[in-house]
Amino acid sequence: MAITLSENAAKRVQKFLDQRGKGIGLRLGVRTSGCSGMAYTLEFVDEAQPEDLAFESHGVTVLTDPKSLAFIDGTELDFVREGLNEGFKFNNPNVKNTCGCGESFNI
């Protein structure tokens, strides 16, 4: 069971955390909503929750809740640039189809 960051993603997360000046890590999660069932969430973490599961990847602490983990276990978070646009991308092995938007998916 694990969630990992690509090296590039870890570098970015660390930089954003440094600029923000506070925060203990990154939270990955899943919530139900969107055009094909579920959606990813990506947030800074100031405080860990008791039920949180923690992973360490390239020096960055990644937190998730157990319910979310069932859907995103094995995910590698990457940071990519597409033209002028740049941001994070979930490479989630559990996903059967996405809606093409990159934000929501089905298992």
Choosing from 8, 11, 34, 61, the residue that interacts with another protein (CB under 8 A) is: 34
Give how far Cα 71 sits from Cα of 2, 27, 46, 92, 98, Å. 12, 14, 23, 8, 13
Q: Which helix (H) or strand (E) holds 15?
A: helix 7-20
* Stretch of 8-16, 54-62, 64-72 lying at the interface with another protein (CB under 8 A): 8-16
CB of 68 to another protein, least distance (A): 12
Q: Counting contacts by CB under 8 A, is residue 88 touching another protein?
A: yes
The DSSP symbol for 101 reads S
- Decide: helix, strand or coil at residue 60: strand
Q: Site residues (CB under 8 A) for another protein?
A: 12-13, 15-16, 19-21, 26-27, 29, 31, 33-35, 39-47, 80, 82-90, 100-104
